[in-house]
A and B are shown apart, each in its own frame.
Chain A
Amino acid sequence: QKEVEQNSGPLSVPEGAIASLNCTYSDRGSQSFFWYRQYSGKSPELIMFIYSNGDKEDGRFTAQLNKASQYVSLLIRDSQPSDSATYLCAVNPGGGGYNKLIFGAGTRLAVHP
Chain B
Amino acid sequence: EPEVTQTPSHQVTQMGQEVILRCVPISNHLYFYWYRQILGQKVEFLVSFYNNEISEKSEIFDDQFSVERPDGSNFTLKIRSTKLEDSAMYFCASSGTGFGYGYTFGSGTRLTVV
Contact = CB atoms under 8 A, between A and B. Distances in A.
Contact of A44 (B43, B55, B95): B43
Interface stretch (B69-77, B78-86, B99-107): B99-107
Question: Which of the four size classes fits the interface of chain B?
Answer: 20 to 34
Contacts of B55: 99
Given A88-B43, A103-B42, A104-B42, A97 B56 contact: yes
Given A32-B100, A92-B99, A100 B42 contact: no
B50 A99 contact: yes
Given A99-B50, A100-B33, A43 B100 contact: no
Given A97-B56, A99-B56, A100-B56, A49 B100 contact: yes
Given A44-B43, A104-B42, A105-B41, A99 B101 contact: no
A32 B107 CA distance: 24
B31 A99 contact: yes
Contacts of A88: 43
A51 interface: yes
The DSSP consensus for interface residues of chain A is: loop
Nearest to A35: B102
Contact of A101 (B41, B103, B106): B103
A99 B91 CA distance: 16
Given A88-B43, A105-B41, A105-B42, A99 B108 contact: no
Contacts of A46: 102-104
User: 6 closest A-B pairs (Cβ-Cβ)?
Assistant: A43-B105, A103-B43, A46-B102, A99-B99, A100-B45, A105-B42
Interface of A: 31-32, 34, 42-46, 49, 51, 88, 90, 92, 96-106
6 contacts: A43-B106, A43-B108, A46-B103, A51-B100, A96-B56, A99-B95
